[in-house]
Amino acid sequence: MSPDDHRKAFLAFIAGLIGDFDRYLERDHIDLLRDGVSYRLVGLWLTDEERAELSRDLVAVLQRRIANAPGAGRKQRILATVFLPGSDSAPPDRSGGVNPT
């Protein structure tokens, strides 16, 4: 894929997230804390090997849950992740975001 193709694919990914969030906000009686809604952007200083290990760890944790079928008490949850390289200098603190839990 070309850089422009990647840009378009990423924009489609982001548009999907915005659509999901808009659908949530349109519900009656939303409560971010009760509903477990959070979004956050953090910068991590990792070697390539540490980033690969983190990815493997996340996959291992998520695979145990991905096979879950709909059932009593289960609600569908949407988890989106993005790994992007940052700058090589210390970035500003990006630990903000909404995480009421």
Interval 39-87: pLDDT, tens: 888 899 999 999 999 999 999 999 999 989 999 999 999 999 888 888 7
What type of residue is 23?
Answer: R
Tallying the residues shown for the chain, one arrives at 101
User: pTM for this structure?
Assistant: 0.71
Q: Is 101 exposed, middle or buried (0-12, 13-18, 19+ CB in 10 A)?
A: exposed
> Is residue 56 assigned to a domain?
no
> Is residue 52 assigned to a domain?
no
> Is residue 7 assigned to a domain?
yes
97: pLDDT strictly greater than 90: no
Which of helix, strand or coil describes residue 52? helix
> Is residue 94 assigned to a domain?
no
Full domain range(s) for residue 9: 1-30
> Is residue 49 assigned to a domain?
no
> Is residue 25 assigned to a domain?
yes
> Is residue 46 assigned to a domain?
no
